[in-house]
Chains A and B, each alone.
Chain A
């Protein structure tokens, strides 16, 4: 039974005795439902044994709450009902590519020959799994026009680290490790780009974008010198715009002896349309969990394989994949067996996120090359459809121009209303929509970055635009309370993010103890 005495979990302004609203149940923590005096499991007393733990043996209780199976089941199902997911509705988080996760992918990942294997099995017993990785590698190198790929990075930032370590290794091999200490990063970049460079000991030189939101080759040339190791560029960039100077930028970097790392987070706009290798990119991560539909955002691990140009390919990390004359596949785990290659080491204990490889390949094979291309086209079309529907109601920082897979609005249309981007986003929750990405990219005031992906139908986009228009008009009419008090209909009202950041409470204290304190 629900304990309704926990005020923390009761909606402010609740009109019911329980705090529940209809079938939306207020749910306390597991520790508040269960008692440490009970157990839901009948565990047999262990047979007599001699403990070798000596005085480090635990003698007191662990403090785990005891719950029955139905109590546990209800707890997690209720929590899941509070969740908002791509399976519930449009998830327009810009830069995140929250696309539908096809169920076929899940079916493939659960095939016994795939789902039940172990990374420590002898390689001769998992030839099919290695073959699958080879096929996925072929897709990634074909789509990017780049000769080599490291499959092991676990997600985007890990991929950045992988690519930048390879760049550092290439620079060391040329004997320039002491002189090339700077990485160029545009000011619209994902925060992980400068963080990656700094983690590897580089210093970051920021490049300002032009008034149209893109980076000029001339600005890159001005910042180039013998001290520059690389530039990290996102294309399409975080404003949802294609960087038109990218080929010129890569040529300038190469001429100066530097490399171009591309943040591939936004590959969903160009997959099947543009080959990054043709743009002169030396390394790029590909988020399988974004572009290739594997679940993410609390739903599954990421996977961020990194593709390399010819000049960086020799430095790709272990394990390497090879096929011998008899067609037998092998994961090469040791530097000594790497032949001509000079792998910089390894990033993970094993070979990467096998479950995500299966899902990504299932997506590719079910779509085909033309399908992948159409997905990119539809993603761009959907973003531009929203742009057209909303251009007269909301404001765009760089004028009304064709965007890629995401459309960027700013807070200018809220000027004089005393309503902020944050208030606007919270009011979207009341309308039944997950808010878009807010306050990113940082170069735009009160940014609202909307990425619908190709998954949304025209009907879904029309509904979304209708809600945003209604809210924008309400804001302009001066219906301030609707925004300042939002969300009014969510399980919890507006959370105090500032206090949470200033005074974070990072460990659980039982309510009784809280009261005593």
Chain B
């Protein structure tokens, strides 16, 4: 999982070449509870880092998923729109949200490694 990076808002980005696969972390799905609705952006949309990329709604709350880096949306995971429970079952694998073609790979420099994110979670609880 060396290529997994996390934001302080609990998004992750898995980077392969210039494509970042974005979703929400295991911790995020656990805190949100049962996910009942996911809204994804259109393919082709250009996102800037920190911009609202998707919306996720659980029985407890609705929250935004922010783009961890700037770039163009090249693919979205329609499976989680049809089956939002996938996000609870496999947030960091099958239930990715979108893929971004990075316009500035340096955007990801400030993100946390898996180990750092683990420390971060311990400190916020």
Query: What interface size band does chain A fall in?
Result: under 10
Indicate whether A439 reaches chain B with its CB closer than 8 angstroms: yes
Q: Which residues of B contact A191 (CB under 8 A)?
A: 62
Contact flags B33-62 to A (C-beta < 8 A → 1, else 0): 010110000000000000000000001111
Within 8 A of B (CB), among A425-447: 438-439, 442, 445
Of B31, B36, B85, chain A has the most CB atoms within 10 Å of the CB of B36
CB pair A502 B84 closer than 8 Å: yes
Indicate whether A14 reaches chain B with its CB closer than 8 angstroms: no
Provide the bound-state CA to CA distance between A497 and B60, in Å: 10
CB pair B34 A498 closer than 8 Å: yes
Q: Which residues of B contact A445 (CB under 8 A)?
A: 31
A360 to chain B, nearest CB (A): 33
CB pair A501 B61 closer than 8 Å: no
CB pair A501 B31 closer than 8 Å: no
CB pair A502 B61 closer than 8 Å: no
Residue of A nearest to B85 (CB): A502
Q: Which residues of A contact B59 (CB under 8 A)?
A: 497-498, 501
CB pair A501 B60 closer than 8 Å: no
A190 to chain B, nearest CB (A): 13
A157 to chain B, nearest CB (A): 16
A412 to chain B, nearest CB (A): 9
Provide the bound-state CA to CA distance between A442 and B63, in Å: 10
CB pair B60 A439 closer than 8 Å: yes
Given contacts A445-B31, A498-B34, A502-B36, contact A439 B85 (CB under 8 A): no
A-B residue pair count with CB separations less than 8 angstroms: 20
Provide the bound-state CA to CA distance between A502 and B59, in Å: 10
B31 to chain A, nearest CB (A): 7
Q: Which residues of B contact A497 (CB under 8 A)?
A: 34, 59
CB pair A498 B60 closer than 8 Å: no
Provide the bound-state CA to CA distance between A442 and B64, in Å: 13
Within 8 A of B (CB), among A149-200: 191
Provide the bound-state CA to CA distance between A244 and B37, in Å: 38
B81 to chain A, nearest CB (A): 12
Q: Which residues of A contact B62 (CB under 8 A)?
A: 191
Q: Which residues of A contact B34 (CB under 8 A)?
A: 497-498, 501
Q: Which residues of B contact A442 (CB under 8 A)?
A: 61, 63
Residue of A nearest to B83 (CB): A502
Of A439, A442, A445, A498, chain B has the most CB atoms within 10 Å of the CB of A498
Residue of A nearest to B34 (CB): A498
Contact flags B62-106 to A (C-beta < 8 A → 1, else 0): 110000000000000000000011000000000000000000000
Q: Which residues of A contact B84 (CB under 8 A)?
A: 502
Residue of B nearest to A191 (CB): B62
Residue of A nearest to B125 (CB): A445
Provide the bound-state CA to CA distance between A445 and B124, in Å: 11
Provide the bound-state CA to CA distance between A445 and B34, in Å: 15
A449 to chain B, nearest CB (A): 13
Residue of B nearest to A445 (CB): B31
Provide the bound-state CA to CA distance between A497 and B59, in Å: 7
Residue of B nearest to A498 (CB): B34
Residue of A nearest to B84 (CB): A502
Provide the bound-state CA to CA distance between A66 and B85, in Å: 42
Within 8 A of B (CB), among A469-508: 497-498, 501-502
Q: Which residues of B contact A438 (CB under 8 A)?
A: 60
Provide the bound-state CA to CA distance between A476 and B37, in Å: 34
Contact of A498 among B31, B36, B61, B63 (CB under 8 A): B36
Provide the bound-state CA to CA distance between A501 and B32, in Å: 14
Provide the bound-state CA to CA distance between A108 and B61, in Å: 41
Q: Which residues of A contact B63 (CB under 8 A)?
A: 442
Provide the bound-state CA to CA distance between A439 and B31, in Å: 11
Provide the bound-state CA to CA distance between A399 and B61, in Å: 24
Contact of A439 among B36, B37, B61 (CB under 8 A): B61
Within 8 A of B (CB), among A287-318: none
Provide the bound-state CA to CA distance between A267 and B17, in Å: 55
Q: Which residues of B contact A439 (CB under 8 A)?
A: 60-61
Provide the bound-state CA to CA distance between A224 and B73, in Å: 31
Provide the bound-state CA to CA distance between A439 and B84, in Å: 20
Residue of B nearest to A439 (CB): B60
Q: Which residues of A contact B61 (CB under 8 A)?
A: 439, 442
B32 to chain A, nearest CB (A): 10
Provide the bound-state CA to CA distance between A494 and B63, in Å: 25
B87 to chain A, nearest CB (A): 12
B120 to chain A, nearest CB (A): 16
B13 to chain A, nearest CB (A): 21
Provide the bound-state CA to CA distance between A448 and B74, in Å: 41
Provide the bound-state CA to CA distance between A341 and B114, in Å: 60
B28 to chain A, nearest CB (A): 13
A409 to chain B, nearest CB (A): 16
Provide the bound-state CA to CA distance between A501 and B36, in Å: 6
Residue of A nearest to B37 (CB): A501
Provide the bound-state CA to CA distance between A191 and B61, in Å: 10
Provide the bound-state CA to CA distance between A203 and B77, in Å: 27
A481 to chain B, nearest CB (A): 21
Contact flags B16-38 to A (C-beta < 8 A → 1, else 0): 00000000000000010010110
Extra contacts besides A439-B61, A501-B37 (7): CB < 8 Å: A442-B61, A445-B31, A497-B34, A497-B59, A501-B34, A502-B36, A502-B85
Chain A interface (Cβ within 8 Å of chain B)? 191, 438-439, 442, 445, 497-498, 501-502
14 A-B pairs with CB atoms under 8 Å apart are A191-B62, A438-B60, A442-B61, A442-B63, A497-B34, A498-B36, A498-B59, A498-B85, A501-B34, A501-B37, A501-B59, A502-B36, A502-B84, A502-B85
The 9 closest A-B pairs by CB, nearest first: A501-B36, A498-B34, A439-B60, A497-B59, A502-B36, A442-B61, A498-B59, A501-B59, A498-B36
